[in-house]
Amino acid sequence: MTTISGFTFIKNGLTLGYPIAESIRSIEALCDEIIINVGFEDQACTADDGTFAYLTSQFQGSQYIFLKSFWDPEIMSQGLILSQQTNIALDACTGDFCQYIQGDEAIHEDDIPLIQSGVEQLAEDDSLEGLIFQYRHFYGNTDILKETRNTYRREVRLIRNHRKIKSHLDAQGFKGNTGQKLKCLETSARVFHYGWARASHLMNKKVKAFSKLYHGQDFEEKTFAYKKIWGLKKFNEAHPKVMKKWIEENKNELDILALPLEFEWKNVGLAVSDLIESLTGYRLGEYKNFIKARDVK
């Protein structure tokens, strides 16, 4: 029987307004076990913002396996701490396949059968290493999508275990043990990404925290404020049911689409690229961590 391990990591999830509990619940029906790696400020793993206590109270039972990890400030640059923490959770997975979910992502309940079908097809072909998912990136509010070339439209979120596959760089995707791209099936299952859809004060905290992950602990980011940027459009699909309460509690009153567009010269190139994509389905210069074998049947 094929088994699936879910895995995720989080640090300061409460302080930064992550829907981490909702993320975990969105993959519960898919997974035999879920590895939850919680980050701490100190090597003894005693100092956090209450995220560990919150999650252990929410998720009890043998399906959930909790880890504690120290976030070493010495490797907090270029986002490398994110792949390190992802790999700590991945290394604890025992299933045949591993479903990754970040703390600001959720899987739609309607898409679970699509993922299960993809896993069945992976199990039948040993040369295949993962599943490619379709992304919905929200910006400012959960009724606004950001769709343009500078946001990734698809990424690997389920991988075959026991192949030395690892998360790399800032944990956007995965690569093989020698740095090779993974051979994957593409599914129409969606990942709903809420990382840029928090209330403004929480988004400001997140931007400042992540700037330190990429630029070092001494880096000070300027105050963040939402503005109308290129690539925004209304979202008309249904959200995952597990996100309902979080969405209601994290609405922004600001009507971003009513603001004047913030013009940048790079938008001209994005507009041309986006037009070509809308006409042909081809995205110019698209970065891919994977080699697509075919679509899930």
Show pLDDT as tens, one digit a residue, over the chain (297 residues): 899 999 999 999 999 999 999 999 999 999 999 999 999 999 999 999 999 999 999 999 999 999 999 999 888 777 789 999 999 999 999 999 999 999 999 999 999 999 999 999 999 999 999 999 999 999 999 999 999 998 999 999 999 999 999 998 889 999 998 999 999 999 999 999 999 998 888 888 888 887 777 767 767 778 888 899 999 999 999 999 999 999 999 888 888 999 999 878 888 888 899 989 999 999 988 889 899 999 998
| pLDDT score at 271 | 86
**The tokens of 233 are what?**
């459009």
| pLDDT score at 62 | 96
- In degrees and rounded to multiples of 5, residue 263 shows phi and psi of -80, 135
User: Looking at the DSSP assignment, which residues form a beta bridge with residue 145?
Assistant: 138, 233
Sign of CA dihedral 154, 157, 160, 164: positive
**The tokens of 116 are what?**
């299960």
Is beta strand 290-295 parallel, antiparallel or unpaired with respect to 166-167?
A: unpaired
AA letter at 78: Q
**Taking the domains of the chain in order of start, what are their residue ranges?**
1-297
| pLDDT score at 158 | 98
Q: For residues 48 and 37, is the Cβ–Cβ distance under 8 A?
A: no
Q: What fold is seen in the domain 1-297?
A: Spore Coat Polysaccharide Biosynthesis Protein SpsA; Chain A (3.90.550)
The pTM of the full predicted model, rounded to 2 decimals, is: 0.94
DSSP classification of residue 144: E
| pLDDT score at 215 | 67
Q: Where are the beta strands (DSSP E) in 152-257?
A: 154-160, 166-167, 174-175, 182-196, 232-234
| pLDDT score at 264 | 84
**The tokens of 147 are what?**
């769709």
Q: For residues 151 and 230, is the Cβ–Cβ distance under 8 A?
A: no
**The tokens of 249 are what?**
């509690």
AA letter at 11: K
Give the whole-angstrom CA distance, residue 146 versus residue 166: 28
| pLDDT score at 54 | 98
